[in-house]
A and B are shown apart, each in its own frame.
Chain A
Amino acid sequence: MNKPVLILLMFALFFGSVPKIFAAVTSELNEAFKDEVKVDPRTHNRQPLYHYGYNDREHSMVENAKNIGIVYGMTWFFYPIVQPKVFGGAGGIKEFGHNFGKIVFDQDEPFWNGFVHPISGSQLYLLYRADGYDRMSAFQMTFISSALFEFTVEIFTEPASAQDLYQTPVLGTVLGLGLENASMYLLNSGNTLGKIFGHAINPATLLPIYEGRTLIIPKLEDADKGAMIMWRAGSSEKNYHLLHTFISLFARSFASTEFR
């Protein structure tokens, strides 16, 4: 199969297989931005309808293996796209055998080792965080995913590198932690531009796997003052659970909220 046909096939496969993901992201975006503007009359601050956060939970080994497998499959898919030299004949089984098990210092510029790899590591960390992994587990999953990529995918073109093995998960996690905090602050600001930037730096919050968004619907009637809280449970359940709680704390908080 010649090179242009192979590239076309890859793109066709890509755009053919992900409309579901795009549709989910679009619906999440629509939902995220449709909420009305609510104002606290005392402070004049916006009152966001959704609260964004992370619900850390335990994952079974099967779930871990499945998630590692999905990310690993994605690396097989995306690597030839971001490294088109693979289509040009670079690499191959012979190169794979030659590079297998080797760790070297790569000669790449800081743009790659200090910028691109940490950014990709940070997004991987945020992806696992969105799926309910606590910070350390998200780092460990990022480490495994990154090492699998280095030792079994990238070696088609070059040996695994010490910088990538270390900096992708470690600097990625450090950067990811910063992005996580910044995005949560922006998303919970209730400000539209803040939400756009919040989703932009942490796009995993738009994916269907994200479990940390909570919808808070204030109930202002005197008879049942309080709030209805709706959140997404574990991805395995794939549905929303409703909880009606009438807590005096919420009642006090929302009783004074004015809606426009």
Chain B
Amino acid sequence: MPEVSPAQSSVENNFNIKAGLGISRVYLRSSLIPTSHKREDESENSGYGFNTSFGYKWNTFEVLIGSDVLFGKLKDMTFLVNSAEIRGDGSFRIFSVSPILRYYTPYTIYSRWNFFVGAGPTWSLHTFIIDNNLNGTDFNNKKRINFENRGASINIGFEEVVPYKEMHPTYIELGYSYMRSKQVFIVDASDLQDAKTLSRGNSKDFYGHYIALRFGITLF
């Protein structure tokens, strides 16, 4: 890759807010989620959503707080809740937030796509909803199984080098994020205004990772 030209992006030395869409492949593993997939304790699903970030960019470094919100469907999953097996089809959602240090390398492709790498710790919340209960327990679709996770992420991507921030430079990024559960919550969301935590406990046996393709623009 050729080195970046002296004409630098006007996004430098500036606060910025970015937003875009994301597609991900989510891999989950837990003794609590045996599924019909490759392995008894492994699940592999697609998630769709959006990503946002805000941060400050210097010449080659950028510090930002980024977030992914992803939604997806799960088929035939089983959880152990208070010693009872809860099995059914359902859906999941992920909210993750991550402070990221990003380094803009001196390399570009097609003259104006600047290659960058970034990494940072992540905090995330996985929510699982069982829409149809297959084994007849009283765990209905108003109840949620939430895992609070810790992890880390690394990202590589390209950002457009443009002379003015108002031109909304585009970015495209491939991210890998790993997470491991710290706490698990069973939540009753029957009352939309006041979701009640029915039980909570430490949890270390849920873990997973996702690969996300993110693309978007610098809004301002």
Which residues from chain A sit less than 8 Å from chain B, CB to CB?
A: 85, 105, 107-111, 113-114, 135-136, 139-140, 162-163, 166-167, 170-171, 173-174, 177
> Which residue of B53, B185, B192, B220 contacts A107 across the interface (Cβ within 8 Å)?
B185
Tell me the minimal C-beta distance from A257 to chain B in angstroms: 31
Ranked nearest first, the 3 interchain pairs of A and B with the lowest CB-CB distance are: A105-B125, A107-B187, A135-B220
Q: Which residues of A contact B123 (CB under 8 A)?
A: 105, 162
Can you list 26 residue pairs at the A/B interface with Cβ under 8 Å? A105-B95, A105-B146, A105-B148, A107-B146, A107-B185, A107-B187, A107-B189, A109-B189, A109-B195, A110-B93, A136-B15, A136-B220, A139-B17, A139-B54, A162-B97, A163-B95, A163-B125, A166-B65, A166-B67, A166-B97, A170-B17, A170-B53, A170-B54, A170-B67, A173-B17, A173-B219
Whether B192 and A109, one on each chain, are in contact in the complex, defined by CB atoms closer than 8 angstroms, is yes
Interface class of chain A by DSSP:
helix
Contact code string B11-53 (vs A, CB < 8 Å = 1, else 0): 0000101010000000000000000000000000000000011
Contacts A166-B67, A170-B17 given; does A107 touch B195 at CB 8 Å = yes
Tell me the minimal C-beta distance from A56 to chain B in angstroms: 11
Name the residue on A nearest B220 (C-beta): A135
Q: Is B87 an interface residue (CB 8 A)?
A: no
Tell me the minimal C-beta distance from B63 to chain A in angstroms: 15
Name the residue on B nearest A158 (C-beta): B194
> Which residue of A108, A140, A163 contacts B195 across the interface (Cβ within 8 Å)?
A108
* Alpha-carbon gap, A188 to B197, bound state (A): 48
Which residues from chain B sit less than 8 Å from chain A, CB to CB?
A: 15, 17, 19, 52-54, 65, 67, 69, 93, 95, 97, 123, 125, 144, 146, 148, 185, 187, 189, 192, 194-195, 197, 219-220
4 additional A-B pairs beyond A109-B189, A109-B192, beta carbons within 8 Å, are: A109-B195, A135-B220, A136-B17, A162-B97
Name the residue on B nearest A82 (C-beta): B193
Q: Which residues of A contact B146 (CB under 8 A)?
A: 105, 107
Q: Which residues of B contact A85 (CB under 8 A)?
A: 194
Tell me the minimal C-beta distance from A17 to chain B in angstroms: 27
Name the residue on A nearest B187 (C-beta): A107
Q: Which residues of B contact A167 (CB under 8 A)?
A: 67
* Alpha-carbon gap, A173 to B219, bound state (A): 10
Tell me the minimal C-beta distance from B203 to chain A in angstroms: 13
Name the residue on A nearest B165 (C-beta): A136
Name the residue on A nearest B125 (C-beta): A105
Tell me the minimal C-beta distance from A116 to chain B in angstroms: 10
